[in-house]
Structure 1
Amino acid sequence: MTSGIAEPRPAPRAPTLAGNMALGFTQIVLWGGSFFLMAVVADPIVGSTGWPQGMVVSALSLAILVSGLCSPWVGRRIRRHGGRPVLIAGTLTLALGQVGLALAPNLPAFLLAWVVIGFGMAGALYDPLFAAIGQTYGAAARSAMTQIAIASGFAITLCWPATSFLVDALGWRLTCVVYAALAVVLVVPLFAFALPAGTRTEPSPPAANAAPGKPAAPCRLPGERILAVTFTSAAVIMTAVSVQLLLLLQAKGLTAGTAVALSTLIGPAQVGARILELVFGRRAHPAWALLVSSGCVGLGLLLLAVAPALAWLAIVLYGAGNGMRTVVRGTLPLSLYGQHDYAAVMGRLARMPLLGQAATPLVCGTLSAWFGFDLLLKILLAIATLNILLSLIVARRTLGAQVR
């Protein structure tokens, strides 16, 4: 005979290094088959199909747009059902979209496949993964997030050459199938292995003025909007540099070969910054990491603008700041809003940066074509300055409240 008292749910096991490395590997595969895929396959697609290059390239922006619109909904699902089922569903959705790419007979079907990939990105990349980790482990999640980011830090360095090899050997359609197979055969089991089942938080009690039988609308938490704008400005810079870095370096007088060689410094700089954060930053509030991240990115862009001879240092500083940004966007909201609201907050915080990222390639391409790369670099510097100012405001409010 039962007592009628609910049994307490067992606490999830602590995050392990093996599990975090496995989760980092999932991000390499998933980013390589989505966000980083277009940079390699765009030209082969246009060459084999004759579809307009602008439409082919804009498909990635379409996927990012869909991902941004879905992110708040995904965050609520993680909060209600836990991270494992949502991330597995997101991975399978992404794989379905990749198969759709491989089978696409025409441009509309190709674009529809990228819409499906966008749904998968919303449920399987860094933001939902960090939401799941933070909701599961609470304060212990910070080191786990950093270890995941370290493990996945060479995603571009690994994925672009691997994708290029696959395209040369198999063609772009079978390359998409390979990424889909990796998602199903490797990523899904790794999520099942590394993420505890059934970890969720109970919904908040309804507001006093909520109508009976209706859930209260999700409310913005203090400082959430300014944090969203801060993350958006950083995400726009990251996307613009990812798309335009080689051309910006060449506009500053570097040869194409030198530009490519220097761009390879980003990966090691990202990983190095994340290792330093893991070793030395675990006792510091994440607001300090936010300041370091925005300052390094801004200084890197300034050096590129005024001292092209120091382009190597500019890229190292930018890479370090961007590497820190990936960790901060997971750890800072957790420290500000706590474990209970974390998954829902992460979903809301992801929307504005993703929408900004969706628009960035088109805007940057237009600005560089009409006004040149010098003006584009000045605009990026202005955005970096805004990001530093916003970061100072966030840090002042956060650290000031901590002192009080």
Structure 2
Amino acid sequence: MATSKLQTADPGPLDVLVAGAGYVGLAAAVSLKQARPSLNITIVDAAPAGVWQRDGRASAIAAAASRMLDRLGVWEAILPQAQAITEMIITDSRTADPVRPVFLSFGGEVEAGEPFAHMVANKDLNGALRARAAKLGIDMIEGMAVEGLEPGGAFATVHLADGATLRTRLVVAADGVRSKLRDMAGIKTVHWEYGQSGIVCTVAHERPHDGRAEEHFLPAGPFATLPLKPDEKGRNRSSIVWVERTEDAEKLVNGDDLVFETELEQRFGLQLGGIRVDNKPRAWPLGLTLARAFVAPRVALAGDAAHGIHPIAGQGLNLGFKDVAALAEVIVEADRLGQDFGAMNVLERYQQWRRFDTVQMGVTTDVLNRLFSNDIAPLRAVRDIGLGLVERMPRLKDFFIRQASGLSRSTPRLLRGEAI
């Protein structure tokens, strides 16, 4: 992607400046450029070039998100490395329990032949979106932080760390849960910490997982095993998302490898044979962050800049893609009508579309975490009865599958696989 022309000469006003080159920022730029090729779009990313290639994490891509990626022309490149989730089981137990009864299980299809989710390596997702952005002619400035923002009348002025100044009709802030652009725009947040951290790593195991994902609700937090494609050596692998109290999580990832693997094995079990940690485990502190507004003059928040939620439902990435699809639809429709898509009356449409759904998901994950991350006997009885009732009600299970797949009634067109 070109970077020099924007740093050595005044390119004139931009239509859209996207801050952040994660999957949300890239998808936002690609969605807009594909629908409106005439738009002048630039991505600015603070991370040094190539950092994304060292991301060893994987993400669950819901069916709606895969439809969107297909419409954007990147799913074909991702699919060979993607692992379909064919089954999901949920248990509620204690760490030392020898048997973990299955309280709830889901089949893995929303439509015939269409799994409700796939597991995709973050670097594969990011790489495919970057390739598509380059093909569409989207410029990128890497290793460059945004240091200042001045919302104006028809344009916002953005100041970069190297002294360059850019003017743009709209800034899309997709720069993460600690978004600097959000602060610069004067948008406040609601935030609290959970006292938990999410440990992430990849595990190799002897027997195949057959596409089954598992989530075990344990007193300290959920422990999820998510199926991955075999690696280039043919080894069976799963991604681990393991929530522990922050103090314990730090000790585990920074302590002795044997202790870590012993604790991991106690939670993972031996149903897939012997296991081995395949990469260096890392831990991230968990909290709830909700922006009080999703828009400000000439600014729209998307992805983690707008909302950071608990991973208990695995919906963080898919919420970000919902933001992208809704924002792109609003902007493209406004541009076709000759409206100023950076004006507040247009951006309010995006906020109205996405804010309630996001707050609802944030509250839901917060309640689920508080309900399941404990060992209080009365709560355990209530939640297990609830899981058992859902298991015995096919229509309710189908509803939850469609919700998990991202195919709700307010789904934007891109997430239905339709052009905007």
TM-score normalized by the length of structure 1: 0.28
Higher helix content, 1 or 2: 1
TM-score computed with the length of structure 2 as normaliser: 0.27
Which structure is higher in strand share? 2
Query: Greater relative contact order: 1 or 2 (C-alpha under 8 angstroms, separation 6 or more)?
Result: 1
